[in-house]
Amino acid sequence: MLEDYHCNIENIRNFSIIAHIDHGKSTIADRLLEFTGTISEREKREQILDDMDLEREKGITIKSKAVRLYYHSKDGNEYILNLIDTPGHVDFSYEVSRSLAACEGALLVVDASQGVQAQTIANINLALKSNLKIIPIINKIDLTTANPDRVAKELQNISEIKEEEIILASAKEGIGTSDILEAIVNRIPSPKGSLHLPLRALIFDSVYNSYKGTIVYVKVVDGVIKPGMFIQAMSNDTKYEVAEVGIFRPKMQTIKKLTAGEVGYIIAGFKNIKDTHVGDTIIDASNPSRESLPGYKKVTPLVFCSIYPIDNKEYENLKIALEKLKLNDSSLFSEDETSEALGFGFRCGFLGLLHMEIIQERLEREYYINLIATTPSVMYQVTKKNGEMLKISNPSSFPSRNDIEKIEEPYVKVNIITPSKCIGAIMDLVQERRGIFKNMEYIDEKILKLDYHLPLNEIIIDFYDKLKSISSGYASLDYEIIGYQSSDLAKVDILVNHQLVDALSFIIYKDKAYTRARKIVEKLKEIIPRQMYEVPLQATIEGKIIARETIKALKKDVLAKCYGGDITRKRKLLEKQKAGKKRMKKIGKVEIPQEAFLGILKI
């Protein structure tokens, strides 16, 4: 059978699909799977690789996936094509880069109507850094708004891509699929390793499965890996016996061995996530190779927030849930934290806001834990007067103003691609976010590329949404960290009923502190239900009150009338209200709904 068949390394092609979000990666992947018979008609469903529930809903791909296709080329030979699907959102460019490390080529997909976007450029740069052969594809040529000529020009303007390399496709209508497959075979080089050298396999992902334990995705560079062999990760001495190796079609399928050039998975009873670091090299324990493969930089989370269970009894469950999520997602960071207001919880680090939202949703939906998440923050660098330097992401652990010599915040280089007519609105937005203009370039006569330096803090919450709305969805964004710069920042504390709610503290550029504090106390007044007594709300900087509001006492809460029949219905209503109160966090004497913590996020 095909599954047991191994062709030699010259007939293997490993490739990724990279694109700006929604340009059609997943749909193109579907077409390739269908064309090569990897999925039968019956198994077809849209965007087959996005099998996580959340992914379907949000319409984005979170985890990269690897699938093996068998392709009978026009040159008469049989090829193994390993397709690695990658996420498209700016938060996940780390995942993109590690998928690319397992490849020799990449399909670059660009929407025929939207054209080049910020991520397109970022992806091209990533691919070039990994020395990949790029196959440019202009997708969605079926759209009436498609303008492939314009897009082709844009591509040539921003890169070395040549016109004759570009493939026109419509993943929706299946146009271009066979051209793409031929280009993969003919243009992408075969992997470079050797079957006869000692084993070296690159870990490019790992997932945790409750039946099988940790499953490690690898690209075998040299040698062979098969069940019964003892292996270890190069950075680590723990040895494991390989229990199973296999490939994805797209479901997991056991095979007898994985040889040089192939992409697949290994199950070896890995106990510890540290033993299967993404980027590490797996070697034969009895015949270790000396040289590790080039790995990846460890990711640094950019956005931080604290996560607490509403019900303190859920703490252990939350802890376990986070551990499990971290197995699947090495870019997620978490450590223990205690809040005076919220009790035991975790400080978590994320690649970006979307990543944060996805993790929070998975905790609530897959693990059924009701959470409170604090306002996201970045990592500040604080130099104290005594010379001590601190890295602080949590406002509540900020030293007192008097002890601080200077505070620095992370800056990013932001690259915005936009229709030129939106430039005015974008400049206003960036200005308001303390942006510094760096450069402007025309991609074609109607499309601009803008470079700015901005504090990361100013873009993590709603910058992307705002950018999209002022450009009617056309502008796109990509960013990378460039370093720290000192800023005039202040910590604002929120007091509810004279009690500091540490989880509501935030760091902000001083000039903006007053306006934001005002909005927050107003919002809290709206969200926190009246209590039996007056509840003052205050925002303070260093103990000085900068904004205040008062929630008036609840004076009347009584069912107007209640006769016989009503009582069971009313009792059920009261039960429901009571359950709602259980979802509130009691701080001092005051019950604060979950929305209070979420609500101020959106200000």
Ligand X SMILES: Nc1nc2c(ncn2[C@@H]2O[C@H](COP(=O)(O)OP(=O)(O)O)[C@@H](O)[C@H]2O)c(=O)[nH]1
> Nearer Cβ to another protein, position 128 or 559?
559
Listed ranges 21-29, 152-160, 532-540, 595-603: which one lies at the site for ligand X (CB under 6 A): 21-29
Nearest in space to 337 (alpha carbons), one of 367, 365, 377, 297: 377
- Minimum distance from CB of 24 to ligand X (Å)? 3
Phi and psi angles of residue 558, each rounded to the nearest 5 degrees, phi first: -150, 140
Whether residue 250 is preceded by a cis peptide bond, meaning omega within 30 degrees of 0, is: yes
> Nearer Cβ to Mg ion, position 19 or 283?
19
> Nearer Cβ to Mg ion, position 52 or 584?
52
Residue 568 interacting partner from ligand X, Mg ion, another protein, none (CB closer than 5 to 8 Å by kind)? another protein
Residue 470 interacting partner from another protein, Mg ion, ligand X, none (CB closer than 5 to 8 Å by kind)? none
DSSP 385: T
Binding track, positions 172-191, relative to ligand X; x by CB under 6 A: x-------------------
Listed ranges 93-101, 167-175, 338-346, 589-597: which one lies at the site for ligand X (CB under 6 A): 167-175
Given 6, 7, 22, 367, the residue binding ligand X (CB under 6 A):
22
Given 128, 481, 545, 574, the residue binding another protein (CB under 8 A):
574
| Residues numbered 536-565 forming contacts with another protein, rule: CB under 8 A | 552, 554-565
- Minimum distance from CB of 108 to another protein (Å)? 50
253 touches 246 (CB < 8 A)? yes
- Minimum distance from CB of 553 to another protein (Å)? 10
Q: Determine the longest span between alpha carbons in the chain, in angstroms.
A: 87
Q: Would you count residue 26 as binding Mg ion (CB under 5 A)?
A: yes
Given 64, 117, 120, 170, the residue binding ligand X (CB under 6 A):
170
Size of the site for ligand X (CB under 6 A): 19
Residue 19 interacting partner from Mg ion, ligand X, another protein, none (CB closer than 5 to 8 Å by kind)? ligand X
List all residues 6 or more positions away from 561 whose beta carbon is below 8 Å from its beta carbon. Answer: none
Residue 283 Cα distances to 8, 274, 276, 287, 585, angstroms? 21, 16, 12, 8, 50
Nearest in space to 78 (alpha carbons), one of 11, 178, 136: 11
Given 36, 139, 360, 476, the residue binding ligand X (CB under 6 A):
139
Nearest in space to 51 (alpha carbons), one of 209, 255, 174: 209
- In the chain, the N- to C-terminal Cα span, in Å, equals 60
| Rounded (10°) CA dihedral 435, 439, 440, 441 | -150
Phi and psi angles of residue 508, each rounded to the nearest 5 degrees, phi first: -150, 155
Phi and psi angles of residue 528, each rounded to the nearest 5 degrees, phi first: -75, 125
Nearest in space to 591 (alpha carbons), one of 577, 602, 601: 577
305 class by beta-carbon count within 10 Å (0-12 exposed, 13-18 middle, 19+ buried): buried
Residue 27 interacting partner from Mg ion, ligand X, another protein, none (CB closer than 5 to 8 Å by kind)? ligand X
Cα distance between residue 465 and residue 507, in whole Å: 21
- Minimum distance from CB of 469 to Mg ion (Å)? 23
- Minimum distance from CB of 25 to ligand X (Å)? 4
Size of the site for Mg ion (CB under 5 A): 2
Cα distance between residue 148 and residue 450, in whole Å: 23
> Nearer Cβ to Mg ion, position 62 or 551?
62
Listed ranges 19-27, 113-121, 126-134, 485-493: which one lies at the site for Mg ion (CB under 5 A): 19-27
Half-sphere exposure of 239 (CA within 13 A, CB side): 10
Nearest in space to 64 (alpha carbons), one of 85, 81, 46, 91: 85
> Nearer Cβ to another protein, position 76 or 565?
565
> Nearer Cβ to ligand X, position 176 or 345?
176
Given 54, 143, 252, 427, the residue binding ligand X (CB under 6 A):
143
> Nearer Cβ to another protein, position 290 or 555?
555
Given 14, 61, 281, 505, the residue binding Mg ion (CB under 5 A):
61
- Minimum distance from CB of 88 to Mg ion (Å)? 7
Nearest in space to 201 (alpha carbons), one of 188, 216, 212: 216
> Nearer Cβ to another protein, position 436 or 532?
532
Two structure tokens written together for 276:
């299967």
Given 389, 436, 481, 532, the residue binding another protein (CB under 8 A):
532
106-134 burial, b at 16+ Cβ within 10 Å, e below that, comes to bbbbbbbbbbbbbbbbbbbebbeebebbb
Listed ranges 138-146, 271-279, 392-400, 540-548: which one lies at the site for ligand X (CB under 6 A): 138-146
- Strand intervals (E) in 272-398: 281-284, 303-309, 333-339, 343-350, 371-373, 380-384, 389-392
Residue numbers at the binding site for another protein (CB under 8 A): 530, 532, 552, 554-568, 570-571, 574-575, 577-578, 581
Residue numbers at the binding site for Mg ion (CB under 5 A): 26, 61
Residue numbers at the binding site for ligand X (CB under 6 A): 19, 21-27, 47, 59, 61, 88, 139-140, 142-143, 170-172
